[in-house]
Each structure stands twice: as C-alpha cells, then as structure tokens.
Structure 1
Amino acid sequence: KIFNSKHGTVLDSGTTYAYLPEQAFVAFKDAVTNKVNSLKKIRGPDPNYKDICFAGAGRNVSQLSEVFPDVDMVFGNGQKLSLSPENYLFRHSKVEGAYCLGVFQNGKDPTTLLGGIVVRNTLVTYDRHNEKIGFWKTNCSELWERLHISEVPSSAPSDSEGDMAPAPAPSGLPEFDVGLITVDMSINVTYPNLKPHLHELAELIAKELDIDSRQVRVMNVTSQGNSTLIRWGIFPAGPSNSMTNTTAMGIIYRLTQHHVQLPENLGSYQLLEWNVQPLSKRSWFRDHVVSILLGILLVVLLTLSALLVLIVWRKKFRGQAAYRPVDSAVPEQELQPL
C-alpha cells in the first residue's frame, strides 16, 4: 500500500523516534505484529503510555533480525531505505529481552518525521548542491574501532552533524588519561516532571553506554521552561580513576550517534556540548588523599616503633655492662695506703 499525502518527510537527528501519519503507522504496526506473533505482547516501561512491546526476543541485539522483520521505506522517486530491527525498536528498560516499537503515530499531523533511531548504524550524506540526502548502512561500532584516535577534540559536533563520525585527529600525538567527561543534554520535559526520574535516567544512560551506573552522575540541573538542561558527569570506573582516549571517545561517539534512546515518558533529548578533562595531579591527590595519609601514618608508626626498640635495647645493654659481682675488686675503688 502506498501512503502519499504530499506533506513530505522531515529527517531530524535531534528527535529520538520516528513518527508516521495515522494510516501508515497502523499499517506498519499491524505488519510487524503479524510477523512476530510467536512473541509475547507486554506493557511498556511506563504505564502512562501505550507502548507496543514484545518479550522473548533474547538479549543479543545482533540477532534481532532473526525474530523481527526488515522494513523498507520507499520514497517518491523509487529510492529505498531498508530498516533493520535496530532502526525501529528500542530496549524495554524494565524487562530483559523485551523490545518496543520506536515508531509512533504523529497525532493527526500528516507529516512523516524520521528521528535518530532510523539512522542508527547509518552514515547520512548531505548533498546541498543537488539537494539530496544519502544513506549508507554500516556498522558504526566496527567503523569506530578502525579509527585510531590519539587526541580528543575540545567540543562536540553540532546536532545537525551528529550522524557523522568525528574526524580522526592527527596521529602520533601522545595520549592522556581522561579524568572526566561532561555532557550537556537538553530534554524536552519540564523539570518537575523529570526530577523523580533522574536516577532512572542515569541508570538508563549508563546501560545504553555499557558502563557502570555509578559512573554516571548529575552535576547540574537547570529548568528552561518546557525543557530541562542537565549536565552529566561520566567518571572512570575502577581504582585507576582514569580512562583512555579510546574509551572516552567511544562513549562520546555513542552519545553523538544517539545510541542512547530514552523512553517516551522521558521525551527526546538534544546533545548540546561535551567536554573531556584530563586527569590532573590535583584530582589524583584528592582521590588518593586517604591512602597517602594512611601511608604517612604507617611510616611514622614504624619509625616510632624502631626508635622505641632501639632505646630499650640500649638501656638493656648498659645495664649488663655496669653489673659486677659483689666480691670483685675494682682498682679505682680500693683504699689507697696512707
């Protein structure tokens, strides 16, 4: 069936999900549901929204294509964009191995809106001269591993360029240990509605970035009318208190590529800016101050113990040297003849 309402299609990488006109959405939903009738249909992570979710697909995302069908979007000129399951599904945040449709009805609006989910693992090219957009399917994770990044840029690419991998820095530059990554994120939900979900949001971000939830912390929150500006701090894991350039850039890459997908109740987000701070000596001292103080205290105790043993030994030695039998003659103490 062809859906051609003549209202065009908008590609917006700053929007998390995809939104279709009513007729197209119903057809899409029914087609996918019929293909996965072996899966159990469950409620979404937020009871306030009627998400369409399926359980029993397994935890391995790379094998979703064995369960869910591919979807082809055919545009007016006959050009086709194939969507694999990762391009229209998002993980259920409360049920392991469950996934939900990341495509929704666009209200009564006849316009089609394609968000970041559609261009996962896709390089988007913009031909401004010929007024064309191109899509190239790829494996962004493998592509990123092939890029040898030896220096971290100081700021994030703009959101309109978020679908392109950052250009590699010149090779041969020394790597430095990263002590902190700060990320400024604007979420289109008011602060009072978002505040109860901040902890849940931090855990979700950590899960999508494949890091420990204790590494993601809220550093600052600012209310901006109908949206909320959050500065996240992403800290190193483990006792080393630092991360390599490659690890840091991998985290930033996932963020700029919109690998982090928020539940519908948390709205969509826009990545405004990110910054990488090297591990400073001051922060190292602050993180290790307890260990340093304990080390100093141990050295002082060992020194005092050694001095105490030395004093006791010397006193004991002097006592043994001064001992003389009662009947022993000491020349200096003999009476001299008159």
Structure 2
Amino acid sequence: MREASPLKQIDGPDPNFKDTCFRVASSNDVSGLSKIFPTVEMVFKSGQSWLLSPENYLFRHSKVRGAYCLGVFPNGKDHTTLLGGIVVRNTLVVYDRENSKVGFWRTNCSELSDRLHMDGSTSPSPATLPSNVSTPTLNTSSREIQIGQINLDIQLTVNSSYLKPRIEELSKLFSEELDVKSSQVNLSNLTSKGNNSLIRVLVVPSEPSSLFSNVTATSIVSQFSNHQIKVPDNFGNYQLVSYKLEPPRKRTRWEMKNILVVIATAIIIVVFVVLLAYGVWLVWKCKQSSNPYKPVDEAIIIAEQEMQPL
C-alpha cells in the first residue's frame, strides 16, 4: 500500500482490538475512497490474483464519522491472516468442493438477484439478512440500476408504546447519522413484536426527480446492517431485519388524471378572472363615455375670477 501520510491515524472503535484506522473526511461518502486508498492485489499460491478496491478492504469506523479501518487482521499467534467478509462485496463466490477450489467473479449482486427472479429462479431474495450476515453488497459494477427509494425494516428492543411518541426524534436521528436531510427519512408501519418494535425506515433522494447511485444506496443499508448508526440507549439495540431497493415510482393513471384535472381547473380559473376583469373594465369605460356632462372650460373659470364688481 502506498504511503498514506496525509491521513490521520486514529484508534479503532473497540479498545480490545488494535484496528488500523484513518480519519479520511467529515462525511461518510465512500465515493472518494479510491482517490485516497490504492487497489490491493491478493495473490494466491497458484499465481492467480484478485484485485480489491478500497470498498473491499475498508470498513467504516462505528464511532468516528468519515473514518475507515482495515478489514484485514492478524490471526492471533498464527502466521495466517484473517480477511473480513467485506472482501467479497459484490462478488459471486463459487465453492468447488469436489476439486477443493474457490472461484471469484466480480458482479453486481443486487442486479444479479433481480435477473434471477426475472428468469423464474427460486433463489432466496437478498432482502432478508440472516443474523450471521454482517453486510450487504456494495456495487462496483459500471452498470447501474435505478434506485428511487430504500425500504429498511428495523427491529428495536423497546416496546411500540414507548417508541410511538418518539418517532420524530428517531427519524431526525437517523437522518443525521446518514448525513441526509430530515425530509429524506420517513418512519412508518410501527408494529409490536413481543417486547420489541418493528418499524419501516423509508429513505428517498434529496430531489423527487433524482435517484440513488448503487454505491450510496448500499452504503446506507450497510450502515444499518453493520450497526454503524449510533442510537441513544433509550432506544435500545436495533437489528436490520430486511431491506429493499426500489426503482423510481411511476405515476398511476389515476394520479395522472388528477394532475390533468388540477391543471385544467387552474387554467379555467385564470381565464375566468381575466374575463371578469376585462368585463369590469368595459363597464367602467362605457359609463365614462356616456356621461352627458362636460367639464367647465378652464378659460371661463379664470375669466370669471378676474371680473371686477360694479
């Protein structure tokens, strides 16, 4: 790895582990990591190699915004090295147990899943995250899918009656942690699940006509799945149950009809107001032109004022 002298090295999130972490920027935007950190080449004994982009060997610092840590660790007293699950983000891993081989194929896992569903495959949806899965995939493919909104189902270890009056506070907290506008985060579908609560977090782009990039969308999901979103103790612990990346919402015929009705109504009102104003002006003009009285000539007034008494 090339020298990273401009970066400030900081302590890791867990004092029990000596993580190698750097403070990169004030925000959690991962799009600029490739400009700061290099691509790492992982070479196998057979001579085959696998390239890792920064998103595949760095994970976000859970306590410092804009900081990242290496997801590569020494394996205790063993001479081997532990590689975190982030190295296979957006990677299709093939296990050939018969020949004792492992294959890696760089792909867009979200797009691949959608394609499998379109082909009629019965493969499980990537939306449900089992408890042993720590992170969703990050997109490194050049082909982007259109993402208009992100739905996340979050389970919190507090009851719904306690959470209900604090929905707005929690929504504002999520928006601050995600570094987005408060209007982009909406909480709904609060339900009770025993002593826990299940709530849906809806995240939308800053502008209605804009979209999420694949990297931004999966980064948002990763922050919840990796517990990088910090919540106060009064909200208990949380767990990402499932998520769904949805395409831009298309207007229905009923909505389009309503929009046309509103536009037509507005045009009619404007035309009516203009015609009414024109009618009032015509009436006033007619009254002015039909007045039988003429003003007294100014010269006569002046002449009368100059007359002398007898």
TM-score relative to the length of structure 2: 0.50
